[in-house]
Structure 1
Amino acid sequence: MFRRKFLKIAGLGAAAVALPSLGAYAISLNEATAGVILHQFRFLNLDRKGIDQFVQDYYKQEGSSKSALAQVKMRGYYMLNINSDQSQLVRTITTLYLLSTDFFQNRMDEGKLVRYQGIYDPYKTPCANPFSALYYPPAPAV
């Protein structure tokens, strides 16, 4: 009697652990990374095709990020809705995405469509300072 009960409980416990981990592999690495970006910047109007292109360019540039551990981490971050405050990897990817868009050239206007322009490389475009005071919205009159 106890053995059957133990086997049932152990089987249910193993299934409870295995099913979510199988669900993590149901989504591709690119979809998970795009989902993390969309979750982080859900208040912005983002170009979905631009996000997909950024993710392809990012993983083309970062060849080592396709390791098994990095894939599991990114899929886990996507499934758990981890934001940039909780993960340095998410912070790095989302910062690079924002620097690779026209968000700062549009004076950080959250109402405009944010378009991907190309992967940001400070050595190729050293004069494009997105944090320049020229890009900030004008201060309200007092």
Structure 2
Amino acid sequence: MKKRKLSRRAFIISSTVGIFAVATGVWTVKSGYLNTHDRMTKTIFAVFEKRLSYLKWDKAQVLSFIKDFITHPGNKGYLKKVRSLSFFYPLYAHTNWLKRTSFASKIRSFEERIVTKFLFSTNFFREGADETKQVKYISYYDPYKMPCQNPFAQWR
């Protein structure tokens, strides 16, 4: 059996791939990318930055809504979709590449659900949908717990 020598080119390529793999692993662990809860929170927060940037909202109140959204029992099935989309968080938050993919409509429905739930959970519609006023988070909107709560009702 003939013994093959490792050429300089093969050594450099394999070393580069190895260093890249180790660096990626270290970055993944150090950045907390494997923490699904944080990744989902960042993904949902990116929706607010992309879709509701024209409104005045407080970051702490948005994070409170996200916490309520994630822990709400009615969203258990939906959180599986959020978890799978959150894997693409860097692409979603910092680029528009995902809008050109075959699952762009699913991303759009994900954004719509988050935005709708948030706006129903705030004083936005109670204030007449005035974009100049500060949007304040009241409580998580659940039509099954408070069926008579109508954010579109005018109480004047």
Q: Same fold (TM over 0.5)?
A: yes
Which of 30, 34, 42 aligns to 2:41? It is: 30
How many residues are paired up? 134
Q: For residues 137 and 90 of structure 2, what CA distance do their matches in structure 1 show? A: 21
Q: For residues 79 and 54 of structure 2, what CA distance do their matches in structure 1 show? A: 31
Which of 105, 113, 116 aligns to 1:95? It is: 116
* Secondary structure of 2:114 counterpart: helix
Alignment of 1:56-135 (within 5 A): 56-62=67-73, 64=76, 70-71=82-83, 73-74=85-86, 76-77=88-89, 80-81=92-93, 87=107, 88-131=109-152, 134=154
**CA separation of 1:73 and 1:25: change in aligned 2, threshold 3 A:** same
In the superposition, the TM-score normalised over structure 2's length comes to 0.62
Q: Give the greater-gyration-radius structure (CA).
A: 2
Report the CA distance between 1:101 and its aligned residue.
0.7
Kept in 2, the 8 Å contact 1:96–1:120? The answer is yes
Which amino acid is 2:126 matched to? Q
Which position in structure 1 is the counterpart of 2:61?
A: 50
* Runs of 4+ more than 3 Å apart: 11-24, 62-72, 82-86, 127-132
**CA separation of 1:80 and 1:130: change in aligned 2, threshold 3 A:** same
**Identity of paired residues, percent?**
24
Q: Which runs of 5+ in 2 are unaligned?
A: 1-7
Q: Which runs of 5+ in 1 are unaligned?
A: 136-142
